[in-house]
Amino acid sequence: MFARRIVVVGTGYVGLTTGACLASLGHRVVCADINAEKIARLREGFVPILEPGLPELVAEGQAAGRLSFVVGAATAFAEDFSPEVVFLCVPTPMGPDGAADLSAVEHVAREVRDLLPPGCVIVHKSTVPVGTNARTGALLGRPDVPVVSNPEFLREGSAVHDFLNPDRIVVGSEAQDAAERVAALYSRLGAPTLLTDSASAELVKYAANCFLAMKLSYVNALAELCERLGADVHEVTDGMGHDRRIGQAFLAPGPGWGGSCLPKDTSALLRMSEGAGFDFPLLAACVQANDHTRDRMVDKIRSAAGGSLASARIGLLGLTFKAGTDDLRDSPALRVAEALLAEGAELTAYDPACPEPVAGFTDGISVEDDPLLCAKDADAIVVLTEWPQFRSLDWPALARAAARPVVVDTRNLLDPEVVRRAGLAWVGVGRS
Ligand code: UGA
């Protein structure tokens, strides 16, 4: 394998993981970000996100002289570095119309277009709509700079593991030679590698995330049906999951799916389909079903609290969008919390990864660093994130602290028998 000179623009979950992992594979990587404070802290070895293994890789890369951090994309193009590959890992959030907002990608492309050495390859790593390779190529106006799509499939909380043990590497471009050069960056990983055209690679990422979202909406709908028919959703999904065509993964019901990717990608694919004149009712229904799941959880909490949420004291266990991350973006837990607040509930929350209030996310919620304080005088205790440590809380103490001893377990995380023995009623999802 050739060690390449690589620039990674953007040091969020995707960019920082990509930079640190590529350095660990032997490449020389310069990571750039516009946030000067973040870069200063990264240089000191402080990794601002909860991602197992990442601080160690960042430290190793820096110590070996293979990984460095600079402020601003342009700074990465120092004369003595001359990158061969530039990864764009800047955010592509949901815009006001539901489509992906590409302004950060375009901004970086404009910033670097005159700095790119001839033959350097531009790689879209962030999730970008079909057509973005062509659009970036036109914006660069550099026929000597090929553009490649190489989507990431990293789950937050296991991003380093996923990067170094990929199920597949997808590289799409009309420039075959550039695509092969990008694929070769990962050759040490020995993963199945798929070389495709640009549009297909761009679509693979949306197709995969939207399929996962549909799997979850299906399971959440099944959970509701199980409640009506007297079945147990876990018995049902276990029975389904043994079929190797279906698999056991991604079959756990919950308060709805969320996070920084699935909601924005389902919305963006719907917009893309609309733009292509294609009606995609299956995907639209999957998104609607997710809103319905949230409403259903609110109904369960309202009933558990005695029929009204006005001035009800609700203790929330979990705020992050899933366990193992400190990310609050588009968290289903916060969507449930917002709906509870709208009905006049008073919320106290505990989350092991979010010990303090976070402006713009936990507004209106009293965030405590002790789960017992969530239970104090509560009309209902609600499990919203599947942190395993919630299983071994002092449930008898929580039961004594609560005004109304009931737990709504939106993740079916707890052992109902343990909770019941502690003196609380247990309300789960798709099982009784
Ligand atoms: C997701 C995809 O899983 C990654 O493959 C993809 O690379 C990433 O988006 C991305 O586009 O960057 P992530 O956002 O980290 O990863 O979250 P997931 O682990 O997929 O979970 C998404 C949501 O589904 C969470 O709210 C989670 O709690 C929920 N979920 C997941 C369930 O409710 N049940 C399950 O069985 C699994």
DSSP secondary structure letters along 151-180:
---PPTTSHHHHHHS-S-EEEE-S-HHHHH
3 state SS of 85: strand
Q: Which residues contact 217 (CB under 8 A, 6 or more apart)?
A: 257, 285, 286, 287, 289, 290, 293
**Ligand 1 contact, 257 CB (< 6 A):** yes
Please tell me the distance between residue 266's alpha carbon and the centre of ligand 1 in angstroms: 12
- pLDDT, the chain, mean: 97
Distance CA 365, CA 346 (A): 7
**Ligand 1 contact, 332 CB (< 6 A):** yes
Q: Is the pLDDT of residue 134 over 80?
A: yes
Given 21, 120, 210, 261, the catalytic residue: 261
Mean pLDDT over 265-287 rounds to: 97
361-376 residue pLDDT tens: 999 999 999 999 999 9
Q: Nearest C-alpha to atom 19 of ligand 1 is from which residue?
A: 155
Count of other CB atoms within 10 angstroms of residue 18: 26
Computed over its alpha carbons, how large is the radius of gyration of the chain?
23
**Ligand 1 contact, 261 CB (< 6 A):** yes
**Ligand 1 contact, 258 CB (< 6 A):** yes
Q: What Cα–Cα distance (Å) separates residue 380 from each residue in 124, 201, 345? A: 46, 46, 11
Please tell me the distance between residue 123's alpha carbon and the centre of ligand 1 in angstroms: 24
20-78 residue pLDDT tens: 999 999 999 999 999 999 999 999 999 999 999 999 999 999 999 999 999 999 999 98
Mean pLDDT over 342-346 rounds to: 98
Query: Which atom of ligand 1 approaches the CA of 155 most closely?
Result: 15
Count of other CB atoms within 10 angstroms of residue 194: 14
Which class for 61: exposed (0-12), middle (13-18), buried (19 or more C-beta within 10 A)?
Answer: buried
pLDDT at position 1, please?
Answer: 62
The side-by-side arrangement of strands in the sheet containing 380-383 is 365-368, 346-350, 313-317, 380-383, 406-409, 425-427
**Ligand 1 contact, 324 CB (< 6 A):** no
Distance CA 336, CA 334 (A): 5
What DSSP assignment string belongs to 320-344? Answer: SSSTT----TT-HHHHHHHHHHHTT
Element at 301 (helix H, strand E): helix 281-304
- Between 219 and 78, name the one with better pLDDT: 219
**Ligand 1 contact, 323 CB (< 6 A):** no
Q: How many CA atoms lie within 13 A of 340 on its CB side?
A: 36
Distance CA 398, CA 365 (A): 19
Q: Is the pLDDT of residue 261 over 90?
A: yes
pLDDT at position 106, please?
Answer: 96
Tokens coding 289: 């079903």
**Ligand 1 contact, 185 CB (< 6 A):** no
Q: 368 forms bridges with which residues in the sheet?
A: 350
Q: Nearest C-alpha to atom 10 of ligand 1 is from which residue?
A: 261
Q: Is the pLDDT of residue 80 over 90?
A: no
Q: H/E/C letters for each residue in 362-408?
A: CCCEEEECCHHHHHCCCCEEEECCCCHHHHHCCHHHHHHHCCCCEEE
3 state SS of 246: coil
Is 89 marked active-site?
no
Q: Is the pLDDT of residue 255 over 90?
A: yes
Q: Is the pLDDT of residue 232 over 80?
A: yes
Mean pLDDT over 262-269 rounds to: 96
Distance CA 89, CA 69 (A): 14
**Ligand 1 contact, 313 CB (< 6 A):** no
288-334 residue pLDDT tens: 999 999 999 999 999 999 999 999 999 999 999 999 999 999 999 99
Are 368 and 392 in contact by the 8 Å Cβ rule? The answer is no
Alpha helices, DSSP H, located in 5-142: 13-24, 36-43, 54-63, 103-112, 132-140
Please tell me the distance between residue 306's alpha carbon and the centre of ligand 1 in angstroms: 33
Mean pLDDT over 379-386 rounds to: 98
Give the predicted TM-score (pTM) of the model: 0.95
pLDDT at position 299, please?
Answer: 98
3 state SS of 249: coil
| Residue 28: DSSP 8-state | E
Please tell me the distance between residue 331's alpha carbon and the centre of ligand 1 in angstroms: 11
Distance CA 289, CA 299 (A): 15
Please tell me the distance between residue 424's alpha carbon and the centre of ligand 1 in angstroms: 31
Please tell me the distance between residue 250's alpha carbon and the centre of ligand 1 in angstroms: 8
Please tell me the distance between residue 155's alpha carbon and the centre of ligand 1 in angstroms: 6
- Using a pLDDT cut of 70, give the percent of the chain over it: 100
Query: Which atom of ligand 1 approaches the CA of 251 most closely?
Result: 36
Query: Rounded to the nearest 5°, which phi and psi values hold at 29?
Result: -125, 130
Query: Which atom of ligand 1 approaches the CA of 331 most closely?
Result: 26
Q: Give the alpha-carbon dihedral of 82, 85, 86, 88, to 10 degrees.
A: -170
Q: Which residues contact 89 (CB under 8 A, 6 or more apart)?
A: 8, 9, 10, 11, 12, 14, 15, 18, 125, 126
Q: Which of the four pLDDT bands, split at 50, 70 and 90, describes residue 2? A: confident
**Ligand 1 contact, 426 CB (< 6 A):** no
Mean pLDDT over 170-176 rounds to: 97
Please tell me the distance between residue 36's alpha carbon and the centre of ligand 1 in angstroms: 30
Q: Which of the four pLDDT bands, split at 50, 70 and 90, describes residue 94? A: confident
Q: Is the pLDDT of residue 79 over 90?
A: no
Mutate to test the pocket of ligand 1, among 90, 212, 409 (most ligand atoms within 8 A of CB): 212
**Ligand 1 contact, 267 CB (< 6 A):** no
Distance CA 2, CA 188 (A): 10
Are 263 and 335 in contact by the 8 Å Cβ rule? The answer is no
Closest C-alpha among 327, 37, 398, 6 to residue 185: 6
| Residue 72: DSSP 8-state | S
**Ligand 1 contact, 212 CB (< 6 A):** yes
